[in-house]
Structure 1
Amino acid sequence: MRDAPLYLRPRADPPLASLLENAPFLHSLVDALGSPLNVLLPDVVARNAERFLAVYRRHHLAGRVYFAHKANRSSALVRRLAACDPAAVGIDVASLEELRHALGCGFTGNRVMATGPKDPELLWLAATVGATVNLDSVAELDQLAGLVRQYGPARTHVLVRLSGFESDAGPGGAGTRVLSRRSRFGTPVAEADELWAALERHADSVELVGLAYHLDTTGLEEKGRALERCVLLMDECRARGLAPRAVDIGGGFGVGYVEDAGEWERWTTALSEAVLGIRPPLTWGGHGYGLRNEAGTVRGTAALYPAHRTTAGPGYLDELLSRPAPVLGRAPATLLLEHLHDLYIEPGRALVDQCGLSLARVLEVRPMGDDPGRYLVRLGMNAGDVSLEEHGVLVDPVLLPRGGPQHEATDDRADHGADDSADDSAHDSADGGPVGVHLVGNLCLEGDLITRRLVFLPRLPHVGDLLAFVNTAGYVMDFHAHHAQRQPVARTVAVTEDGGTWRWCPDENYWPITHPQGVPS
C-alpha cells in the first residue's frame, strides 16, 4: 500500500499564479529557448519595494531600501528597480562586477551601497562614483582612506558594520548576559573605540553616515537587540564629534515558499519518523537533512529553510520595528523616530519574492526497480540550475503537461525517440493518481539530485512535460549555475502582462520604458 502523498505545494500569488496557468505560453518559451529556462517578472520587484516602503510610512520613518544584488544576476530586475523612486530605492553590491552592472542598469552612484569583502578596485570605483561603502573592519577603512587620498575622489560616505552585540536579557538591564551569534562580517562592538578613533583619524577622507549590522538569523529578539544597540552607539559617536544619521539592519526578512502550514508540519514530522525508521525513507539514500538516529532518538538540527512562514518580508520588518527592544523597552521604530535616524535595509530574497520561476523539460521517466511505486524523473537541468537543496529550501514543482490534461494521447509524444519506451512502460504501471518521484539532473554524477527528498506530484509526468520550480528568483535560479560537462546554463527572460496577454524578451533586452508600440522594450 502506498503512503499518503506528502505534498509541499508552493505559494503562488498573482501575477505569478496567472503565469503558471498559461502552460502553452511557458511551453512555447522552452521550445524556443531550451531547458532549463528562467522566467522573471520585473514589475513584481517594484511592487515588493513599495510594500517595504509602506512599512516605513506606517512607522513614519525615512530611509532607503537597498536591493541585495547577489540574490539574482538579472539585468531586468535591476533596471526595473533603477526606475523606482531614487530617494527611496537603492542597490547593495558585493563585488566590482555587481557595481559595474548596477551603474550600467541606471543606478547613479549615490544610490549604491558597497558591502561584502572588498578588493581595492571595488573600493576605488565605489569612492569615485559617490557610492556609500559599508565597512567591516579598521583595515578596510584604512585602505579606503588611502585610496581617497591618493586618487582624489570626494570625501566618501561610509557606514561601519558591527557584530558581537551584547546586552542584558532581563527587564531594566538586569538578567542574563546575551551575546549575538558570531559573524565574519563587522567589527565586534567590544572593539568600537578603535573604530571610532580610525574614523576620526580619516575624517579628511571619509564621512560616517551610519552604523550597520548583518545577522544570519531569523530571530526577531536578536535583531531587535542589535538595532537597539546601534541606536545607543550612535549617541556615543555623536559625543565624539561624529555625525551618523542612519542605521542599516541588513536583510534576512524571509520568504514563505510553501502555501500550507499543515503540509510543512506533516512533512517535517514524517522526516523525523523516517530517520527513526518507523516509516519508509523520504529521501535518496536516507539523507536526514542534518537529523540522525542515535539509539532510537532523533539528534541534530534540520538544516532546512523554514519554508512556511506566517510572517515574512515586509510583515517581518513591521514586526521587528513594532516589538519592544530588550533594554529600553521601546519599539525600534520609536527609537529611530525619536533620534531622527534613517532606516536602511538590504533585502535580497524578500525583494524578489514571487518574481520568477525556473522551467525544466522532463527527459526521462522510469520506475525504480528496487522501490516499487516510485520513479526516477530526469530533467533538462542540473542541481546548479535550481539550487533549492543548497539553500535548504523544500518546495514542490508545479507539473505543466504538454498539450494540457489530454497529454496522454499517443500522438502528443510521437517525436521523443528512444525515451518514449521507458516513458510508456512507466505509465503502463501507473494508476494516474499521486506518485512519488526522485528528480535527478542531466550531469553524469550520482550526486546530481535536483531534490534529495521524494517529491509527490499529482500524477506521473510524461516526457515533454514541464516542471515549474516556483519563486526561484532569490538565490535559487542562478546563484550556483555552472557549465559543468558543457551543459547549457539557463537563459533568462523577462515577462510582462498587458491586457491578459503575456509578452517576453531576453533579460538583457528589458528596459522599464514604453515604446510607441505600447510595450516595454
Structure 2
Amino acid sequence: MPSSPSAPAPSAGGARPFALTALRHPVVSTLLADHRDLLADLSEGLGSPLHVMLPEVFEENVARLRQALAAAGADADILFAKKANKADCFVRSAAALGIGIDASGAPELVKALAGGVPGHRIGISGPEKDDALHALVVQHDCLVAVDSVSELRRLAATARRAGRRARVLLRSRTAVQPGSRFGLSAAEREAAVGLCAELADHVALHGFSFHLAGYGAEERATAANEMIEHCLDARRRGSPTAQLVDIGGGLPVRYVEPRLWQGFVEQDEPSQYHGARDFQDFYPYGGRTASQAVRAIMAHPVDGAERLSGKARRHGIRFVVEPGRALLDQAGFTLFRVQQVDDRRDADGYAIVTVAGSSFSLSEQWFGSDYLPDPLLMSAEPVGDELFPACVAGSTCLESDMVTWRKIGFPRPVRRGDHLVYLNTAGYQMDSNESPFHDAALPLKAVLRLGDGGTPPRWRLDGV
C-alpha cells in the first residue's frame, strides 16, 4: 500500500508553504530511493518531461478492485477507461488479466484490439458515434452505449447490412443529473426500449448505462438502482437480455493522507499561489479510496433497507464498472528537468522554478485547477535547515503556463539540472492535454518493471 513520509507542518499565518506530501507505492519508493541514477539517465536521454509507466502497479490495482467488488457482493465486469491514459502498456496488462476496455472512439478501439483485448470485452461509450465506428463495433461484437433514438436506428441498419446483431446499452439520464448532455431522456428511453424490441433481429438490448459527474457514492448507487428498474421494465417489454447495469467510473483516488488534505482545505487562501491565484475547486485528493467507494456504492440501501448489490443479485443483474484513474493509482509518475531558477525570495518571498516542458503535461490545468500533491526534488544532496519556497513554471511563452501555481516548500534550494518528480500522474494527468506547442515533441513514456532478486529494473519505450 502507498506510504507517506513525514512532512513539515505549516506555521501560523501561512508564511510557510503547506506540505501536501504525496503517498507513494512501495515500487515508486524503491525506484526513487535505489535507482535515482537510472531515472536521471532516462530523463537526460529521452527528454523532459518523461513519463514513467508502472504496469505492475496497474495489475495490482486490478486485483484489488476485483477483491473489493467480490467482497461487496457485486457480480461485475471491469472495463479500463482507456481515455485516462494513452499508454499501450496498460492495454497489454488488461488483455493479460482478462479485463476489458472502455473505448470512447475508433482510435481507442483499434488500440484495444491491437493490444490483445477481444471485441466482446470492449465497451464503446462515446456520444453519438458515427457510422464508421458502428461498423467496427458490429464487426467485433463490442458492447455499445447508445445515446439517442436516431443513433439506435443507424446502428441497427449497420448491423442489418452486416448480417449481425449489435449488443446495446441504452445510456439514460438520471434523476440526480437530468441536465446531462449525455443520454436519453425518459421519453426517449421509453421509445428506444420499444424500438429494441421491434428491431430484435438486429440489436440486442443488454442493459442500461449513465454518465454521472462527481464522486458521490450515494448518487451513483441511486442512479444504478434506476437502471435496474429500467432493466426490469425492458424485460417485460420484450428484451429478456437486459441484465447489465453500467455504473461508469467515478471511483476516487487518494493522493495524500486525509488529515493533510483536511488541514490544507481549512487554511487554503490565494496568498499561497503565484499571482495570488484564487482557485475555486480541487480534486478531492484526500478522500476515499476506490475500494472504500465500491463498498459504499454496493452497500447503499435502495427501496428501503435492501443493499444495491443484494437487489442486483436477486434480479440477475450484473454490473459493469469503467474505472480509469482508480486503476492507474500510483501506476506512473512524471520527471521534469529544471531549466532555470529565478530566485525572487528577497522581493516576493518565493522563487520561480522553470522546467523543460509545460503544464500541458499536468492536465489539472485543463479544469482551471492546480495539481496539488507536492513534487519531489530528486537529489542525493542533503536537505538544508530552511525550506526553499517556489512555484514551478513551464518553459513556454505563456504567462499562464504554470506547472504548479502553489508555493512548494522544497528541502533545499532548487538548481538548474535538478529533477522534479510529480507522483501519481498516470490517471488523466500526464497525457490528456499534451500538445506539440512551440513545435516541441510530445513527451515519451518509459515502461519500468522492478527486477527480480536484486537485478536492475527493466525498461523499454511504451509501444515497443
Normalised to the residue count of structure 2, the TM-score between the two structures is 0.92
Write the distance in 2 (CA, Å) between the matches of 1:17 and 1:201: 58
Aligned ranges for residues 6-405 of structure 1 at < 5 Å?
6-21=18-33, 22-85=35-98, 89-117=99-127, 118-150=129-161, 152-165=162-175, 179-180=176-177, 182-243=179-240, 244-258=242-256, 260-271=257-268, 274-275=269-270, 281-290=271-280, 303-309=281-287, 311-325=288-302, 327-368=303-344, 371-391=347-367, 392=369, 393-401=371-379, 404-405=380-381
Larger radius of gyration: 1
Which residue does the alignment assign to 2:463? 508
Offset at residue 455 of structure 1 (A):
2.0
Q: Which residue identity is paired with 2:148?
A: S
8 Å CA contact 1:157–1:206 kept in 2: the answer is: yes
8 Å CA contact 1:373–1:435 kept in 2: the answer is: no
Offset at residue 246 of structure 1 (A):
1.1
Which residue does the alignment assign to 1:516? none
Write the distance in 2 (CA, Å) between the matches of 1:2 and 1:235: 56
2:424 maps to which of 457, 471, 477: 471
Aligned length: 445
Offset at residue 370 of structure 1 (A):
7.1
Offset at residue 190 of structure 1 (A):
4.6
Offset at residue 50 of structure 1 (A):
1.3
Which residue does the alignment assign to 2:386? 433
Q: Which residue identity is paired with 1:138?
A: V
Write the distance in 2 (CA, Å) between the matches of 1:140 and 1:328: 36
Write the distance in 2 (CA, Å) between the matches of 1:44 and 1:126: 30
Write the distance in 2 (CA, Å) between the matches of 1:388 and 1:255: 14
Write the distance in 1 (CA, Å) between the matches of 2:158 and 2:14: 66
8 Å CA contact 1:127–1:153 kept in 2: the answer is: no
Write the distance in 2 (CA, Å) between the matches of 1:57 and 1:305: 28
CA deviations 1:223-267 (Å, max 9, x no partner) are 111111111221111111112111110000011112x33332232
8 Å CA contact 2:375–2:423 kept in 1: the answer is: yes
Q: Which runs of no fewer than 5 residues in structure 1 stay unpaired?
A: 166-178, 276-280, 291-302, 408-430, 510-521
Write the distance in 1 (CA, Å) between the matches of 2:203 and 2:93: 31
Offset at residue 20 of structure 1 (A):
2.2
Offset at residue 145 of structure 1 (A):
0.9
CA deviations 1:159-197 (Å, max 9, x no partner) are 1111132xxxxxxxxxxxxx4353111112354211212
2:414 maps to which of 446, 457, 461: 461
Q: Which residue identity is paired with 1:352?
A: L
Q: Secondary structure at the match of 1:505?
A: strand
Normalised to the residue count of structure 1, the TM-score between the two structures is 0.82
Write the distance in 2 (CA, Å) between the matches of 1:268 and 1:61: 34
Offset at residue 459 of structure 1 (A):
2.0
8 Å CA contact 2:72–2:294 kept in 1: the answer is: no
CA deviations 1:442-474 (Å, max 9, x no partner) are 101111111222222222211111111111111
Offset at residue 384 of structure 1 (A):
0.5
Q: Which residue identity is paired with 1:95?
A: G
Which residue does the alignment assign to 1:299? none
8 Å CA contact 1:164–1:190 kept in 2: the answer is: no
CA deviations 1:258-290 (Å, max 9, x no partner) are 2x333322322222xx35xxxxx1112221112
Worse-superposed segment, 2-11 or 63-72: 2-11
Q: Which runs of no fewer than 5 residues in structure 2 stay unpaired?
A: 1-12
Offset at residue 4 of structure 1 (A):
2.4
CA deviations 1:24-50 (Å, max 9, x no partner) are 121011121111100001111121111
8 Å CA contact 1:358–1:386 kept in 2: the answer is: no
Write the distance in 1 (CA, Å) between the matches of 2:14 and 2:433: 35
Q: Which residue identity is paired with 1:113?
A: G
Q: 1:204 to 1:2 in 2, by over 3 A?
A: closer
Write the distance in 2 (CA, Å) between the matches of 1:17 and 1:433: 24
Q: Which residue identity is paired with 2:293?
A: Y
Write the distance in 2 (CA, Å) between the matches of 1:226 and 1:189: 13
Which residue does the alignment assign to 1:172? none
Which residue does the alignment assign to 1:169? none
Offset at residue 143 of structure 1 (A):
1.3
Q: 1:91 to 1:81 in 2, by over 3 A?
A: same
Write the distance in 2 (CA, Å) between the matches of 1:435 and 1:388: 24
CA deviations 1:3-39 (Å, max 9, x no partner) are 2230111111221222222321210111211111000
Write the distance in 2 (CA, Å) between the matches of 1:358 and 1:380: 12
Write the distance in 1 (CA, Å) between the matches of 2:189 and 2:76: 24
Which residue does the alignment assign to 2:6? none
Q: 1:153 to 1:91 in 2, by over 3 A?
A: farther
Offset at residue 347 of structure 1 (A):
0.3
Write the distance in 2 (CA, Å) between the matches of 1:164 and 1:110: 27
The question of 1:493 aligning with 2:446 is answered: yes
RMSD: 1.8
Write the distance in 1 (CA, Å) between the matches of 2:297 and 2:32: 33
Q: Which residue identity is paired with 1:193?
A: E
